[in-house]
Amino acid sequence: MRIIKWLMTYLLISFSTSVFAEQLLIPIQYLDTTGARQLTPFTLEDEYYIAVAQLAEDIPDTPANIDGGNADVDVIISRKQVVNSVNTNVSPAMVTNQLLFFPLAKILF
């Protein structure tokens, strides 16, 4: 009975791997982040942007610690220019867990 279960599991995994291999997500862009917490997509003048909230960056030669690290990190703002290409800028911030983008009286926050 165990051989039958093993064989069925093997066939199921083998079949599903080949069938769904074409449907897996394929990364088109990597962003250099440290402790990324949230991605906030927004549109400005028909341009697509993504803002990345970051918590902190590791300090070299120190042990890993959830409360440690350098909290003086930037918010990464990437603008999609053409297919598979982004323009990346940074905005100063400290320990950012969430981002919000909104217009108020023609001023963008």
Structure tokens at 87: 């323009």
Residue 84 lies in a domain: yes
How many domains does the chain contain in total?
Answer: 1
56: which DSSP letter?
A: -
Residue 19 lies in a domain: no
Residue 76 lies in a domain: yes
Residue 64 lies in a domain: yes
Residue 18 lies in a domain: no
Residue 12 lies in a domain: no
Residue 10 lies in a domain: no
CB 34 within 8 A of CB 73: yes
Residue 5 lies in a domain: no
d(CA 62, CA 7): 48
pLDDT tens, residue order, the chain (109 aa): 566 666 556 655 655 555 555 667 776 667 777 777 778 888 877 888 888 877 777 788 888 776 777 777 777 788 776 555 455 555 555 455 556 665 666 666 5
Structure tokens at 54: 């970051």
Predicted TM-score of the model (pTM)? 0.53
Q: Which of 51, 91, 95 is nearest to 72 (CA)?
A: 95
Range of the domain at 85: 27-99
